[in-house]
Structure 1
Amino acid sequence: MSLSNWFLLIFFTIISTAFGTAMWFLSLHLIGPTTMSLLSAVEPMTAMILSVLLLSVPMELIDYLGAGLVILMIVLQSLKTRKIG
């Protein structure tokens, strides 16, 4: 790879990381830590669903179990939040 390509790769990597991190902290400030933790838990499931839909990656039993655990965690956390608040 040429030097200019390396520069562009590093530049866009730093920019996308900085922008993503800044948006995450802004979202944390705006919607609160509890909601943000629930949304963060959904990210791996979103990636899994998109990989199945867009890349035709087959889901295995462990994928279904992991998705079920994430959904269970979200439901339990939501119930806990409702009782307190």
Structure 2
Amino acid sequence: MTAHDAFLTTEYNDQHRARLIERSLRPELADLADERSWTDVSRSGATLSIRIEATDLVALRAAANTWLTLLDVAERSAQAGDLVET
């Protein structure tokens, strides 16, 4: 049972962008799960959701910081890909 959780939700302009970001994040799920926190990434249309569960606030904060950083990197990488394609 988890004592703490956080939900991060972001909406993109289109489903393609949301799918690209989701696929960028999904491989990290297994590598970052541990006995104190775990995460689920899901997508519905153009909306991406990240649910973080943790046994304590320190683990929740650390996991949230990690996933926000990974989300930022995925978004910047997708944006750089757009620049290359145009």
Q: TM-score, normalised by structure 2?
A: 0.39
Give the structure with the larger helix fraction: 1
TM-score (norm 1): 0.39
Q: Which entry has the higher C-alpha Rg, 1 or 2? A: 1
Instruction: Give the number of the structure with larger relative contact order, counting CA–CA contacts within 8 Å between residues 6 or more apart.
Output: 2
Higher strand fraction: Structure 1 or Structure 2?
Answer: 2
